[in-house]
Structure 1
Amino acid sequence: MDDHEDDAYAKLVRRMNSPRVVIDNHACEHATVIQVDTCNRKDTVLDVVQVITDRNLVITKAYMSSDGGWFMNVFHVTDDHGNKIRDEGIFNCIEKALETDANMVMSRGTMLASKEHTLIELTGTDRPGLLSEVCAVLTDLRCNVIDAEIWAHNARAAAIIHITEQSTGTAIEDPRQLSLVKELLHNVLKGHGDFRIPTVSISSPGEIHIGRRLHQMMFAARDFERPDREDDNSVRPRVTVSDCPDRDYTVITARSLDRPKLLFDTVCNLTDMEYRVFHGAFITNKGEATQEYYIRHADGLPISSEAERQRVMECIEAAIERRASEGLELELFTEDHFGLLSDITRILRENGLCPKRAEISTKNGKAEHNFIVTDVSGNPVDPKTIHMIRQQIGQTALQDNPAVIN
C-alpha cells in the first residue's frame, strides 16, 4: 500500500469513527467537563488542546490516554473569570476541528497570510531597543504594521509581523522593495559581534498558528540554551525526565506556576520535537501546575540517552517560560496612525524599558497594543518612569497593571 492509499485509508477510518464530544456542567462544581473520544493520529492531543486554548478557555485539569488507535481525553475548563462554559458554539468548534486533517485546524489563534498583507518572520539575539529599531526601519521604508506578536526569552527574540505598503494599504509586491526590507531588518537583527545568524523571511499566502509558529522559531533559535547569569534569581520550572521500563515509556514531570495556555505550550513543544503523548495529566492547585506525560519518540521508542534527556528537560523548561514573562503590563488604546508603533517603542526605549512580549493589533482605525516590560536589567519598572511615559503618550491612552505572569 503506497502513501496515497495509506492517507485515504486513514481518512476513511476517521469518517467511520467520528469524534464524540460530551459536555457536562453537572459533574464538577467549579468547572465544565469536556470529554473527547476520537480516532488517534499524530497531532490529536495538540489539535484538541489548541482549539480549547484558542477559544480562551482556562484548563484547570486534563487527563489524556491513548491505547491502540483510540484517543480519550477529559478536560476541566472555565472561562477567564472562573465560570462554567455555556456557549455551545465552542463545543461545536471542537468537533469540527477533530474532523479536520492534522495540521489544518482553523481557530482564533490562526493568522492568515493574505494577499492584503505581507507576513514577516524574524528571529535574532535580543537586546535593549531592538523592537524600537525594527519598527523604525519599517516606518522609514513606508511599511505599516497591522498586527504583530513578539516574544523574547533567554536573550533570543522572535516576531511575526503583518505589514502593508503605506501608500496602497495592501501587501508589498515589488521584489526590490521586499529585498530591501529583508536586507535592512537583517542588518538590525545582526547586532554587533553576535555569532548567531538572524533570520528574516517573508511568507507566502497561507495559514499559520501564531503561538505554535513562535514556539518553533524560538526552538530553532535555541532559546533553550540559558545564558550564564550569576544574578539569575528567577523562579524556574522544575522538570524531570525518567524511565518507565515496564511499559517502554519516558516519563516527563514538570512543576511550575500556573498561567493561561500552559498546557498548550508544553504539548506543542513535545509535538514539534517529534514525541507522541500516550498518557498524561495536567493539574492546577492554588496557582501552581503539575504536568506529567508518558511519551515515546516518533519511531516508537523511549528516550535512550542522557544527552537527549537533558535536552528535553531544557526544551520543556523553555516552553513553559517563553510566555511567562514577569514584568509590568502596559496596554495602549488610541487612534491609529502611520508610525504610531515606531513612536511608542521609541518612547519605551528612551525611558529605559525593554519589551519581553508584545501583541500589536490595529482595526478600524484603532490601535490596541499590549506590552510586558521590565527595565534594561530585567528588574521591575519604576512608577516614576510610567508617569513620564504617560506624559508623552497621553494620560488616557495608556493603562498599566501590576507585575504579572501571563
Structure 2
Amino acid sequence: MEWPACTDEYEKLIIRMSTPRVVIDNSVFSSATLVKVDSARRLGILLDAVQVLTDLDLSIKKAYISADGKWCMDVFHVTDQNGNKITDESVLKYIEQSLGSSQYGRIKSSNGLTALELTGTDRVGLLSEVFAVLGDLQCDVVEAKVWTHNGRIASLIYVKDSSSGSTIEDSQKINKIELRLRNVLKGDNDIRSAKISVSISAMHTERRLHQMMFADRDYERTPILKFTSENPLVTVQNWAGRGYSVVNVQCKDRTKLLFDVVSNLTDMEYVIFHATINTNDGRAYLEFYIRHKDGTPISSEPERQRVIQCLKAAVERRASEGVRLELCKEDSQGLLAEVTRTFRENGLNVTRAEISTVGNMATNIFYVTDAIGNPADSKIIESVRQKIGLSNLEVKELPMVNHQEIQREDEAVGIGGAVLLSLGSLVKRNLYNLGLIKSCS
C-alpha cells in the first residue's frame, strides 16, 4: 500500500485498522468460491458486503457471520447463477477491491439522471399509464425497477430530459411530472396512499425499493391477488441466557435472498451479531442472532409478530411469479409505453420489471400473469410476441439455481429444533463446516 507523503504513522495505523482484509480462495471447495472478510465492526457492514456480492448476481450458497466486540468476520461460499465457481479474474479482482476498501458499500453517482419514486395501489395497466405520461412530458426512461406485493406497487424510475439528455432541473417541469403521475397512481380510490417524489441524489435501487414498500406498510396488507405459490416460514425466539433474539427463515432459495433479509433487518434497526446461511436442494435456511442498537433483544409479542411479517414481505417482494419476458430492441421514444400498452390490451399484468438501456439498445425484463394473478395463457403470450416482434420479445426461463448439496458435518439447526445452543459450540461448528478450522471438538 502506497501512502501520501503527508500521512503520519498514526494515520497509517487507523487506515490499516479500518480497511477490511479480504481472502478469496478457489482451492478450498469443489463447488464454490470462498470469500472471507475480516474487518472492524460498524453498523451496516454486513449489508455492504452482501450488496457487493449480490450486485454481481452471485449466489451465496452458504455463509457464516460473527461479530465479536470491535471486529467481525464474514465468510461466504459463492457461485455464479449456474452454480459454478467464480473463475473470471476481472470479477475476482473487483470483489477483492470492493470488499477490501474502507469505502465499500458507498453509493455510486447518479450519472446525471433524475430519480422518480412511486408507490400506490397496483392494477392492470398501471405501468402503461406511467410510461405514457413520461413520454408525453418528454422524459426518457434510462433505468427502472418495479416491484409489486400484496396489491401494492413500488417503482424507482431514472429519467433524463429528452431534448437535453441531462438531469431534469426545471422546477415547473418537475412539478408537472409529480402532478401527472400522482393522478395516475391514485386512480379512483387511492387518493391517500399514492406517493411520488423526485430526486437527483444517488441511491441503491433495490435497497430503496425495500425501504419504500416498508414505509408503505405492504407487510400489513392482505393480498388481493396471490402471486407467489409458497410462503416463507419465519420464527423469532429469545435466547434469554445470551440476550439475543434468534430469527430463523426457511424458504425457496434464490439469488439476492440474503440481501433482501439483511436489508430489512438493517432498516428495522436491528444489529446482526451472528448468522448462519445454508442451502440444500433448492431450499434456504437462514439463522440470525440479533439485538436492538441499545443491546436489548426483542421485548414484546407485537414486536415479534412485526418482525415475522416484515421478513416474510422482504422475501416475497422479489418472488413475484409469472412468465419471464425479455425485450431486446433498439431504444426509441415511447417504446416502453407501447410495449406495456400491448400487455394491458391483452390482459397481462406486470408483477415485476427491470428496465435498462445500454447505448442505443433497450434490455428489459417483465414478469407477467393474467389479470387475476394466474399463469398467463401461452396463446396470449405468443400473440403479444407477434405484435411486438418475435425476435425482440422472448420467453425466458429463470436463471438456474445450483441445487448441488454441500456436505455438512452436522445438520443445520431447524426451525422447530433447539436453537438455544451454546454460542461457543455454534461458532466452532460453523468454523469447521466452512473449512476454517480442522476440528470442532
**TM-score (ref. length: structure 2):** 0.84
**1:373-384 alignment to 2 at 5 Å?**
373-384=368-379
Which residue number corresponds to residue 361 of structure 1? Answer: 356
Higher deviation after alignment, 238-247 or 165-174 = 165-174
Which residue number corresponds to residue 208 of structure 1? Answer: 203
Describe the SS at the equivalent of 2:219: coil
Which residue number corresponds to residue 261 of structure 1? Answer: 256
User: Which AA in structure 2 matches 1:126?
Assistant: D
1:303 pairs with 285, 298, 302, which one? 298
**1:30-69 alignment to 2 at 5 Å?**
30-69=31-70
Describe the SS at the equivalent of 1:318: helix
Q: CA separation in 1, counterparts of 2:262 and 2:11? A: 23
Which residue number corresponds to residue 5 of structure 1? Answer: none
1:142 pairs with 125, 138, 145, which one? 138
Which residue number corresponds to residue 222 of structure 1? Answer: 217
Describe the SS at the equivalent of 1:386: helix
Alpha-carbon offset, residue 75 of structure 1: 0.7
Alpha-carbon offset, residue 16 of structure 1: 2.6
Q: Deviations over 1:42-67 (max 9, x none)?
A: 01111111111112221100111111
Alpha-carbon offset, residue 13 of structure 1: 4.5
Q: Deviations over 1:73-98 (max 9, x none)?
A: 11111112221122344444445444
Q: CA separation in 1, counterparts of 2:187 and 2:21? A: 52
Tell me the matched-pair count. 392
- Change over 3 Å in CA distance of 1:48–1:14 after alignment to 2: farther
Q: CA separation in 2, counterparts of 1:136 and 1:18? A: 47
Describe the SS at the equivalent of 2:238: strand
Which residue number corresponds to residue 105 of structure 1? Answer: 105
State the identity %: 51
Which residue number corresponds to residue 75 of structure 1? Answer: 76
Instruction: Answer yes or no: is the 8 Å Cα contact 2:65–2:275 preserved in 1.
Output: yes
Instruction: Answer yes or no: is the 8 Å Cα contact 1:111–1:210 preserved in 2.
Output: no
Q: Deviations over 1:187-239 (max 9, x none)?
A: 111122226422211113x3211111111111111111131669788310000
Instruction: Answer yes or no: is the 8 Å Cα contact 1:328–1:404 preserved in 2.
Output: no
Which residue number corresponds to residue 168 of structure 2? Answer: 172
Higher deviation after alignment, 93-102 or 57-66 = 93-102
User: Which AA in structure 2 matches 1:64?
Assistant: I
User: Which AA in structure 2 matches 1:179?
Assistant: N
User: Which AA in structure 2 matches 1:28?
Assistant: F
- Change over 3 Å in CA distance of 1:230–1:318 after alignment to 2: closer
1:344 pairs with 334, 339, 345, which one? 339
Q: Deviations over 1:255-285 (max 9, x none)?
A: 0000100011100111111001000011111
- Change over 3 Å in CA distance of 1:228–1:186 after alignment to 2: closer
Q: Deviations over 1:81-127 (max 9, x none)?
A: 2211223444444454445567x624xxx563233x22211111111
Instruction: Answer yes or no: is the 8 Å Cα contact 1:324–1:405 preserved in 2.
Output: no
User: Which AA in structure 2 matches 1:51?
Assistant: V
- Change over 3 Å in CA distance of 1:132–1:12 after alignment to 2: farther
Which residue number corresponds to residue 15 of structure 1? Answer: 16
Q: Is 1:312 the equivalent of 2:312?
A: no
Which residue number corresponds to residue 252 of structure 1? Answer: 247
Q: Deviations over 1:315-364 (max 9, x none)?
A: 10011111111110000111111000000000000111111111111222
Describe the SS at the equivalent of 1:207: coil
Structure 2: gaps of 5 or more residues: 1-9, 402-441
Instruction: Answer yes or no: is the 8 Å Cα contact 1:326–1:403 preserved in 2.
Output: no
Instruction: Answer yes or no: is the 8 Å Cα contact 1:17–1:39 preserved in 2.
Output: yes
- Change over 3 Å in CA distance of 1:89–1:53 after alignment to 2: same
Instruction: Answer yes or no: is the 8 Å Cα contact 1:215–1:269 preserved in 2.
Output: yes
- Change over 3 Å in CA distance of 1:241–1:235 after alignment to 2: same
Query: Higher Cα Rg: structure 1 or 2?
Result: 2
**1:256-295 alignment to 2 at 5 Å?**
256-295=251-290
Instruction: Answer yes or no: is the 8 Å Cα contact 1:243–1:251 preserved in 2.
Output: yes
Alpha-carbon offset, residue 396 of structure 1: 0.8
User: Which AA in structure 2 matches 1:312?
Assistant: V
Structure 1: gaps of 5 or more residues: 1-8
Q: CA separation in 1, counterparts of 2:354 and 2:109? A: 16
- Change over 3 Å in CA distance of 1:371–1:222 after alignment to 2: same
Q: Deviations over 1:116-151 (max 9, x none)?
A: x22211111111111111011111112111111111
Describe the SS at the equivalent of 1:253: strand
Instruction: Answer yes or no: is the 8 Å Cα contact 1:24–1:34 preserved in 2.
Output: yes
The alignment's C-alpha RMSD in Å is 2.3
Structure with more of its chain in strand, by fraction: 1
Describe the SS at the equivalent of 1:242: strand
- Change over 3 Å in CA distance of 1:120–1:69 after alignment to 2: same
